[in-house]
Amino acid sequence: MQGLLNGYRAVVVGGGRGIGHTVAQRLSEHGAKGLMCDLPDVIDHASQLSAFEKAEIDVSSEESIAAAFDRAKREFGTLDIVVANAGIVPPWRRTEDVDLDEWDRVFSINVRGVVATLKYAVPLMKMRGGTIVVTASINGITGAPLQSAYTSSKHAVLGLVRCAALELGQHDIRVNAVGPGPVLTDALRERIRFRSTEGGPTEEEAEKLLAGQTPLGRIATEDDVADGVLFLASKLSAAITGHLLPIDAGYGIN
């Protein structure tokens, strides 16, 4: 499988840390080159990957997205792979306590940010075809108490994936989503630590609890998600478009 992506040009949005950074690393291990884009302070601190240059992006700003893809166009001409991974997770809230400004912020990144990414990515992919992979969540197909804003945003993004797949198939552009279950990235660890100060389980207890809810007895890792993105970004998934691939060790079955 080595060299599966030789000659491919990729942009990973939200590629500065966590799942997105592992994805950029995995794509580069298989021969892709390109840009990993993230917020300025995050991308500054991201570890270097020889095949991926760092670029700044803020997906809440259309101008910023346009500028990042303009750079990709100048450097590569066309793109083969775009990964739309940027996302935020708000604090847990009951539905009657929903904070509508927070709701709008979540949608501005997790939904508007993704559609804006596709808006500027697609023109660079139409000539030769390509693959788009959106990081949704297992919450894109299942509900979760106290997580209505996040869960609704990830459901919305699956609607976008399906519509874009229907439109873009004629240009040989496939559009899919990965649906990670809980993955112990730094971001999730921080949220667990915060909840534990409010009486929630400790990090160790939380990991055990989550693992106990999967048939595999463990939760998915960043590497598991990166392997799923590699599959959806490559020819290995040539007949798959418009779908969400759960990567959750079975967490979302029930």
- Could you give the residue numbers annotated as active site? 150
Task: Spell out the alpha helix ranges (H) of 46-185.
Answer: 62-76, 100-107, 113-121, 148-168
Residue 130 Cβ, how far from ligand NAD at the closest point, in Å?
Answer: 20
A 10 A CB-CB count for 40 gives 13
Does position 228 bind ligand NAD by CB under 6 A? no
Does position 26 bind ligand NAD by CB under 6 A? no
Among 27, 36, 160, 183, binds ligand NAD (CB under 6 A): 183
Helix (H, G, I), strand (E, B) or coil at 10: strand
Does position 90 bind ligand NAD by CB under 6 A? no
Query: What does the alpha-carbon distance between residue 225 and residue 112 come to, in Å, rounded to a whole number?
Result: 23
Does position 185 bind ligand NAD by CB under 6 A? yes
Ramachandran angles phi, psi of 180, nearest 5° = -65, 145
Among 11, 12, 81, 85, binds ligand NAD (CB under 6 A): 85
Does position 60 bind ligand NAD by CB under 6 A? yes
Residue 7 Cβ, how far from ligand NAD at the closest point, in Å?
Answer: 27
Query: What does the alpha-carbon distance between residue 106 and residue 116 come to, in Å, rounded to a whole number?
Result: 14
Among 182, 228, 246, 252, binds ligand NAD (CB under 6 A): 182
Mind giving me the DSSP string for 203-214?
HHHHHHHHHHTS
Does position 246 bind ligand NAD by CB under 6 A? no
Considering only 91-99, 119-127, 184-192, 198-206, which stretch makes contact with ligand NAD by CB under 6 A? 184-192
Helix (H, G, I), strand (E, B) or coil at 238: coil
Q: CA-CA distances (angstroms) from residue 155 to 33, 78, 144, 150, 165?
A: 31, 30, 12, 9, 16
Residues in contact with ligand NAD by CB under 6 A are 14, 16-20, 38-39, 42, 57-60, 85-89, 109, 135, 137, 180, 182-183, 185, 187-188
